[in-house]
Amino acid sequence: MTDNTYSGSSLGKKRAAGILLHLTSLPGAWGIGDLGPEAEKFLNFLKASGQSCWQFLPVGPTRAIHGHSPYMSTSAFAGNPLLISPDNLLRDGWLKAEDITGKPDFYQYLVRFAEVSNCKEELFEKAFSRMQSLKKPPAAFISFCADNLWLDNYSLYAALSEKFTGRPWFTWPKDIARRNPGALKSITQELSSRISFHKFIQFLFAEQWREFKKKAQEKKIKLIGDVPIYVALDSADVWAHQDCFQLDPKTLRPDFVAGVPPDYFSETGQIWGNPLYQWGSAEQPNLQVVTWWQRRLQRLAELVDIIRIDHFRGFEAYWQIPAEAKTAAAGEWVKGPGTTLFDNLKTTLEDLPIIAEDLGTITPEVEQLKDDFGFAGMKVLQFAFDGNPENPYLPWNFTTTNTVVYSGTHDNETTLGWYLDKNVDERAKAQARQAANSNGNNIHLDFIRMAYASIAALAIIPMQDVLGFGSDCRMNHPGSIERNWAWRCAPRFITADISSMLQEMSGFYNR
C-alpha cells in the first residue's frame, strides 16, 4: 500500500477531528460510564461539535488485581460487563423496576470499581434469572453463542476463575490448567450454569454495543478502538492458546515478560509482566499466532471503525525482560515478526484502518514497517517542546498527512497539568507559548489549535484537554496502579458553549 492509498481509504481524504474519552469516564447514575443514555448523549455532543471520531481505550473485561487497567484484560475478545447499561436492561425487560430499588448513591467524579462491580453483578444475576425463567432462550442469544468461536473458551475460563476464587489459571489443577480434554468435558458439565451466565452477559454487552455502533454510524461518528499488543498472563487467551506464548512447559509461567526500557515515563523502564508471543521465524512463522491475531483484529473490526495498535514498535523488536528482574533495565531488544506477520494479515487488514502507536524509542526499521503497510502514525504535542528545532512532534515538522495528532494521550499528564508541572523545563513551556503565539493563559486551547492547524489527517484531543482540566483529572500514571483509569466527566461540564467552541475551531481549520 502507498501512503496516499491508505490515507484515502482509511483516515479519509477530508481532514477530521475527534475526542479521546474512555467509556468508563462518561457521566451517569451507575458509578461508571456505560453504553446507556449517556453514551448516546455524547454521540450527540460530538455531532454538534463538528467532531467525526470518538476514541476510547480497550473495552475488554478488567480485574481488581490489575487496578482495572483496560490494558490487562482477561480476554482480547470479550466485552467488559461493567460497560453494560442497567438503564438499557430495564428498558429491554431484563430488569424490572423493583430490581433497581435501593441503588447506591455513587460518587460521581471517580469510578469506585469495587462498589460498581458489586452493584452491577447483583443486577446481572437478576437479569440472568429472568432469562432462565423463559421457556426457551431468545433466538438472538442462541445465534450469538453459535456465531462467536471465542465464547466457549472465555465463558469456561470465567466460570473456572470463579470456582478457584480468582487464582490464576496456571495454579489450577494440573489437568485443567493443561486443558486435558476429559477434564475440560467434565468441568464444563459441572459448571454449565455459570458458563451460561457468562455467555448471557457477553450477549447483553454485544446487544448494547450493536445499538451503540448503529447510533454512531447514523451520526457519522467513527469509533476508534484500542488493541494492546500484549494480553494478560492470567487470561482466557493465554490459557486457551498456550502454544502461542512463550511459557515454561513445566511451570506454565513465562521466563521472560514484556515491558519497555527506561524512557520519558520512567527512569528504570516498565515491567508489564505480559507473556511474549511464540512468533516463530520469518521462514517458519507460528501460524497459530497468526490465526489468533487474525481473529483478534476481525473481532475488533466488528466493534469499531478504526483500530489503534498500542506499542506498535513491539512488532519490529520487543523488549524482553527476565521474569525475575527487579527493573526493566535488565531487558534486551529481540527481533519481532515484522513484515512476516502483516503479510499474513493482509486480507484482514485490507479494509481495516490502523493507527500505529509509534511513540517512544522508534528506529528507522519501525518507521519502515509502518510505512510499508501504510499505517497512520501518531504525534503527541506534549513531546514536541524540547528546544530541538528538528523535533518530529513539532507540528511544522510533520512530513505526511497520514498521521493522527494528539495534545496528549491517556498516559500523559493533561495539557494544563503538564504546563503547571514544576518538573517540566520552563524553556519547554516558553517554546510552547512561542509556537502558539500565546501567553499560555489558555494553554489547552493553544494545543488544540496547533493540533487542528497541522497537516495531520486526524486530530484527537482528550476530553480533559478540551475542558482545560488539571493533573487531578489524569487518566493513567504509567508504572503505577494508584488511582488510574478512574476519572469521570461530570455532566455539567459537557455544555453547549464547549460544543460551540469545538465546532468553530474544527470549521476554521477545515476539520
Q: Find out whether 282 and 199 touch, Cβ atoms under 8 Å.
A: no
Q: What is the rounded distance in angstroms from the CA atom of residue 490 to the CA atom of residue 169?
A: 38
CA 470 to chain centroid: 23
**Sign of the dihedral through C-alpha 51, 55, 61, 64:** negative
Do the beta carbons of residue 232 and residue 66 sit within 8 Å? yes
Concerning whether 411 is annotated as a catalytic residue, the answer is yes
CA pair distance 12, 6, nearest whole angstrom: 9
Instruction: Give buried/exposed letters for 385-397 (b at 16+ CB in 10 A, else e).
Output: beeeeeeebbbee
Query: Where does 373-495 have alpha helices with state H?
Result: 415-420, 426-436, 443-453, 463-467
Q: Which residues of 462-489 are buried (b: 16+ CB within 10 A; e: fewer)?
A: bbbbbbbbbeebbbbeebeeeebbbbbb
Catalytic residue (choose from 411, 413, 446, 465)? 411
Cβ neighbours of 13 (radius 10 Å): 11
Residue 35 near residue 208, CB atoms below 8 Å: yes
Which of 359, 375, 384, 494 lies closest to 450, judged by CA? 384
Is there a contact between 418 and 408 (Cβ–Cβ < 8 Å)? yes
CA dist., res. 475 & res. 33, Å (int): 14
Continuous segment of H or E residues that includes residue 187: helix 181-190
What letter represents residue 447's amino acid?
F
Write down the catalytic residue from 34, 234, 237, 310. 310
* Catalytic residue (one of 357, 358, 413, 446): 357
Q: Give me the phi and psi of 467, to 5 degrees please.
A: -90, -10
- Is 147 marked active-site? no
* Separation CA 312–CA 357 (nearest Å): 5
Evaluate whether 212 touches 83 at the Cβ level (below 8 Å).
Answer: no
Q: How far is CA 1 from the centre of its chain?
A: 26
d(CA 449, CA 461): 10
Q: Is 367 a catalytic residue?
A: no
Kindly list the catalytic residues.
310, 357, 411
